[in-house]
Amino acid sequence: MGSDHYFTAAPASAENLRTITVTLAGRELEVTTAGGVFSPDRLDAGTAVLFANMPPLPPSGDFLDLGSGWGPISITMALASPHATIWAVDVNERALDLVRRNAEALGLTNIRAVTPDAVPEDIVFRTIRSNPPIRVGKGVLHDMLQKWIPRLDERSDAYLVVQRNLGSDSLQRWMDATFDEGYSISRAATAKGFRVLKVRRHGNPPTEPIDLV
Ligand SMILES: C[S@@+](CC[C@H](N)C(=O)[O-])C[C@H]1O[C@@H](n2cnc3c(N)ncnc32)[C@H](O)[C@@H]1O
């Protein structure tokens, strides 16, 4: 038996494609998943808690789904904000392949499923929504958040769902200490053993045009 985890780059286990029915953005949909990716048989309970406790999405802009898996968060965002561009980012090539397959089957042309280094450097995100990979270990998780959180646009929010018994409170404390100036970290919700953590990036409000008399 192999010891692949869902976060390896190219899982060696048999692909084992399957179709499941899920409700995303209020629509019952058939999607394709596979062995070797996260939660292939159902919508993950944490992801469901995130959906139930996040505010409406901005109407447009670039959005990040950090650690996309087969794509439930990306698909939800693409359906809810058809004028936005959704970056589905994962290190697992099979997961990215499933996101592309699902986007195509659902006629969603606004999802870009790519590895982390393929996101253009100049893009800033109007929102980040994520069920991040906790089991990769603190070092990798912290590196990931230090890479992506600073790419939030000014006056924009990230929502992350984390299981309480996998360290949501210590992650919140670490984020508070790490993203100090210009950010605030809070708990947006607690439900079913998960916390939804909110990261707000502050910024100056847009300047009003001055009327010259
Ligand atoms: C908890 S799963 C969530 C999957 C999906 N968003 C969902 O809600 O079902 C986290 C995902 O993060 C991915 N991942 C692990 N390390 C990563 C990294 N360094 N950068 C981006 N994604 C990563 C894993 O491959 C996995 O698909």
CATH number for 150: 3.40.50.150
> How do residues 136-190 score in pLDDT, each as one tens digit?
999 999 999 999 999 999 999 999 999 999 999 999 999 999 998 899 999 999 9
With the most atoms of ligand 1 within 8 angstroms of its CB, the residue from 7, 87, 142, 159 to mutate is 7
Q: Which two tokens stand for residue 87?
A: 């970056």
Q: Is 91 in the pocket of ligand 1 (CB under 6 A)?
A: yes
Q: What is the pTM of this model?
A: 0.93
Number of domains composing the chain: 1
144 CA to centre of ligand 1 in angstroms: 11
Task: Give the domain extent around 74.
Answer: 43-201
Say what the pLDDT of residue 67 is: 98
Q: Is 92 in the pocket of ligand 1 (CB under 6 A)?
A: yes
Q: Is 116 in the pocket of ligand 1 (CB under 6 A)?
A: yes
Q: Which residues have a Cβ under 8 Å from the Cβ of 162 and sit 6 or more positions away? A: 46, 132, 134, 168, 171, 194, 195, 197
For residue 15, is it within any domain?
no
Say what the pLDDT of residue 3 is: 44
For residue 10, is it within any domain?
no
Q: Which two tokens stand for residue 29?
A: 């949909």
Closest by CA to 49, choosing from 152, 169, 160, is 160
143 CA closest ligand 1 atom index: 19
Percent share of the chain, pLDDT over 70: 89
69 CA to centre of ligand 1 in angstroms: 5
Say what the pLDDT of residue 180 is: 85
Residue, of 100 and 211, whose pLDDT is higher: 100
CA angle, 167 as apex, 191 and 51 as ends, to 5°?
35
Compute the average pLDDT of residues 45-73: 98
Residue, of 85 and 8, whose pLDDT is higher: 85
> How do residues 3-49 score in pLDDT, each as one tens digit?
456 666 665 556 689 999 999 999 999 999 999 999 999 999 999 99
For residue 86, is it within any domain?
yes
47 CA closest ligand 1 atom index: 8
Lowest-pLDDT range of 12-26, 78-92, 111-125, 176-190: 12-26
- What is the pairing mode between strands 27-33 and 18-24? antiparallel
Q: Is 72 in the pocket of ligand 1 (CB under 6 A)?
A: yes
Q: Which two tokens stand for residue 46?
A: 């944490």
C-beta of residue 71 within 8 angstroms of C-beta of residue 85: no
For residue 117, is it within any domain?
yes
C-beta of residue 70 within 8 angstroms of C-beta of residue 37: yes
